[in-house]
A and B are shown apart, each in its own frame.
Chain A
Amino acid sequence: MALPPLDPYKWQGSLRAFAWGLRSVTSTVLTLVLFATYLGIGALAHDTHFSLGWVLASTLLVWAGPAQIILISTLGSGATVLQAAIAVTVSAIRLFPMVVSVLPMIRTPRTKRRELLLVTHFIAVTLWVECFRLLPQVPRERRIAFTHGLGVGLVSVCLVATTIGYGLAANLPELFGAAILLLTPLAFLLSTARNCRQLADILALALGLALFPLAAQLHTGVDILISGVSAGTIAYGVHWWREQA
């Protein structure tokens, strides 16, 4: 599916922009990846004896695959609420730079902060990647409505997947589980690679992959943060140095 050209008529009204956002859910393979991932989360919640309503509420409120997997598996293994909260918050730090880098694409000079609350809640890997791909084709004053449509569409797909996964749990073979779990790194890697525009992005991706195994040797609990900030900063340094030269 292609979005309409930047023609004011085609983008008239927020409702139409919302509908284009909703329809864009069908334009990306990441929707399938999310669907499969949330099948897995539903099944995991069933196996660890959480109720269906609880895991649906977690999809709606948390809206970040890795955080939900960590939350369900730590609580399920008998960890305290505090231990679970710490594990979740470390995994969620990545959301901060994502929000900071997406919001300038979405707001106009007149946009108030509270108008961006729901957009901010929807930001996770998929929406982050899709915003960089799709928003340049959307007129700026329609971007909030468009992103709301995209977010509502993706969350709905995942609520359905969570429910199906919860129902199927007992019947899923191990090979299927392995295939679902491999989807996440594969799709994250390729969709991020596709979005790389500048040298800094490509370097950050390559260095981030290479430095994590080194940082993991430190066993700090925040290894991803250490490798991410150093790889990102080195990548930015190279970019800065080339600009100067």
Chain B
Amino acid sequence: MSDFVGDWHALLVLVVAGFLPNEVWRMIGLWLGAGVDEGSELLVWVRAVATAILAGVIAQILVSPPGALASVPGWLRYSAVAAGFAAFVVTRRSTLAGVVCGELVMLAGKWWLG
């Protein structure tokens, strides 16, 4: 066990720094969300905020890219996502077509840059 997980201290760090601070928001949602009605106006607002926060996460990865994505220049990152979105629209909302097209544009751009 000790080799597989590391030690009990490492597991404790995982629970205190990873599991609890993450899970607390789910549990607050479960606690407060239980009384919300499916068709309510409050839910329209909550969904709009959830969508906009997710949009923020997307923008953050593109604007300040983590790890290896930082090796791709900004214009290429934005063009790849724009091309993916265009393919998605042209194919009448196929996520697969959009993802494949975006990745290909990024790979082609990297290859072209050498």
A-side residues, CB < 8 A to B, are 28-30, 33, 44, 50-54, 57-58, 61-62, 64, 66-69, 71, 73, 75, 81-82, 84-86, 88-89, 91-101, 103-105, 107, 113, 116-117, 120-121, 123, 125, 128, 174-194, 196, 198, 200-201, 203-209, 211-213, 215-216, 223-225, 227-233, 235-236, 239-240
CA A91 to CA B69, docked complex, whole Å:
20
- Whether B90 sits at the interface, judged by CB under 8 Å, is no
Considering only CB atoms, which chain B residue lies closest to A231 in the complex?
A: B52
What distance in Å separates the Cβ of A75 from its nearest Cβ neighbour in chain B? 7
A95 engages B33 (CB within 8 Å): no
CA A54 to CA B36, docked complex, whole Å:
37
For the residues of B in contact with A, the DSSP-based class is helix
What distance in Å separates the Cβ of A243 from its nearest Cβ neighbour in chain B? 9
B-side residues, CB < 8 A to A, are 1, 3-6, 10-11, 13-34, 36-38, 41, 43-69, 71-72, 77, 80-81, 84-85, 88, 93, 95-96, 98-99, 102-103, 106-107, 110
Indicate whether A97 sits within 8 Å of B29 (C-beta atoms), given known contacts A185-B62, A224-B56, A227-B56. yes
What distance in Å separates the Cβ of B17 from its nearest Cβ neighbour in chain A? 4
A216 engages B103 (CB within 8 Å): no
A232 engages B45 (CB within 8 Å): yes
What distance in Å separates the Cβ of A25 from its nearest Cβ neighbour in chain B? 15
CA A208 to CA B95, docked complex, whole Å:
20
B22 engages A189 (CB within 8 Å): no
Indicate whether A181 sits within 8 Å of B24 (C-beta atoms), given known contacts A104-B33, A232-B50. no
A182 engages B17 (CB within 8 Å): no
For B17, what are the chain A residues with a Cβ–Cβ distance below 8 Å? 71, 75, 81-82, 84-85, 88
Considering only CB atoms, which chain B residue lies closest to A173 in the complex?
A: B68
